[in-house]
Amino acid sequence: MKLSVLDQTPIPEGVSCASALANSIDLARLCERLGYHRYWVAEHHGSPALAGAAPEVLLAAIGAATRTMRIGSGGIMLPHYSPLKVAETFSLLAGLYPGRVDLGLGRAPGSDQRTAFALQRDRRQQAPNDFPNQLAESLAYFDDSLPADHPFAALARTLPGRPELPEVWLLGSSPDSAGWAAEAGLPYCVADFINGRGAPLAASYRAAFEPSPRLAVPYAMTALWTVCADCDAEAERLASSARMMMAHLLAGRSIPVPTPERALAWLAENPQPAASGRRVIAGSPATVRAGIEAAAAEYGADEVMLVNILHDHAARRRSYELVAAAFDDRAAAA
């Protein structure tokens, strides 16, 4: 099974944002040594918890720090940007790191509505909800397929990384994203860590898939919330940090990633209902491998992407080491 990593660049309590960014580069190096297939970084804005406000910048640094592993965005939140700017940026990255760059596109804001509005250049009104048009224009720049009489047609040939191109993905957790990915003939990543009941999305994507020059047959990946430690109890302890952080986020207050000790104390005083629809695979290597395999079978996934938020960077490293070893004993010696 192909295993990959989604890094949201968490900012632990008491740790600087600069250190969080350095942690992402360190984790990428480790994951390449362990044999993970691709390493994506997320986009979030105005957050004291997550430092990945500019994934394209972080990808440039990660590309320089790695050699063979695919790198990409999980994802670029396209509604914030012009399609041409995104196409130019990821064309440039593809030119720098040939055959390695993925452009994962999403339509979520990666922020609250106030921050999303602050990101707009024109604030006279809310930005239009025209994601399918943005997606089509973005793909047309890479394919050089804009009609000859289109005012932007000549710009496709000016992309700085040509002839290298990124591999374009669509990301999502809703029926809309599944339909758009199928119609455009794109690989599709379902965010199970957001919507733990997303298996029907993968099925509908495969059923509606239309072959394209990019992809002849459907390719589905699922991103799973995964915390691995030496035993189940330790993994549950480590996972408490994200539970407290998410509880505060749902209440409208974002906080840095707390320590497990502070999180466990807070959760004891503020019992949280089980998060509706949220799957968490946490435990020993055997427990986590079984959980990943079950989820992959549920999705019919061609690939699985692992994501977690932990306070301790060493524990994050250990989590990915243990999962790699659970699926391939050779990875433990990397």
pLDDT, residue 1, reads: 84
Separation between Cα atoms, residue 77 and residue 313, nearest integer Å: 26
Q: How many domains, in total, are found in the chain?
A: 1
Q: 283 lies in a domain? A: yes
CB 246 within 8 A of CB 275: yes
Banded pLDDT at 276 (limits 50, 70, 90)? low
Q: What's the rounded mean pLDDT across residues 250-262?
A: 94
Query: Any idea what the CATH number is for the domain that residue 96 is in?
Result: 3.20.20.30
- 3-class SS of residue 66: coil
For 37-73, write each residue's pLDDT tens digit: 999 999 999 999 999 999 999 999 999 999 999 999 9
Using one digit for the tens of pLDDT, what is the confidence trace for 66-111? 999 999 999 999 998 999 999 999 999 999 999 999 999 998 765 6
Q: Are the beta carbons of 101 and 142 closer than 8 angstroms?
A: no
Average pLDDT over residues 163-171: 97
Q: Is 232 exposed, middle or buried (0-12, 13-18, 19+ CB in 10 A)?
A: middle
The answer to whether residue 257 sits within a structural domain is no
Amino acid at 93: L
Averaged pLDDT of the chain:
93
Please answer whether residues 45 and 79 qualify as being in contact, where contact means their C-beta atoms are separated by less than 8 angstroms.
Answer: no
Q: Mean per-residue pLDDT for 110-132? A: 77
Per-residue b or e along 117-132, where b marks 16 or more CB atoms closer than 10 Å to that residue's CB: eebeeeeeeeeeeebe
pTM, two decimal places: 0.93
On whether residue 252 sits in a domain, the answer given is no
Q: Could you give the CA distance from residue 186 to residue 317 in angstroms, rounded to a whole number?
A: 31
* Phi-psi domain of 31 (left: phi exceeds 0; alpha: psi -120 through 50; beta: other): alpha
Q: Is residue 243 part of a domain?
A: no
Sign of CA dihedral 143, 146, 148, 154: negative
Which range marks the domain in which residue 307 is found?
A: 2-230+278-333
Matching residue, tokens 């659970």? 326
For residues 334 and 33, the answer to whether their CB atoms sit within 8 Å is yes
- Does residue 66 form part of some domain? yes
CA angle 297, 300, 306 (to 5 degrees): 75
User: Tens digit of pLDDT for each residue in 205-236?
Assistant: 999 999 999 999 999 999 999 999 999 999 99
What was the pLDDT predicted at 274? Answer: 65
- Is residue 8, in this structure, part of any structural domain at all? yes
Cα dihedral angle (216, 6, 1, 241), rounded to 10 degrees? -150
The answer to whether residues 41 and 53 touch, using CB atoms and an 8 Å cutoff, is no
In a domain, 136, yes or no: yes
What confidence score (pLDDT) does residue 331 get?
43
Helix (H) or strand (E) holding 315: helix 313-327
Query: In the prediction, which pLDDT does 333 show?
Result: 39
pLDDT, residue 334, reads 41
CB 39 within 8 A of CB 70: yes
Residue 235 inside a domain? The answer is no
**What pLDDT does 329 receive?**
61
307 phi, psi to nearest 5 deg: -140, 140
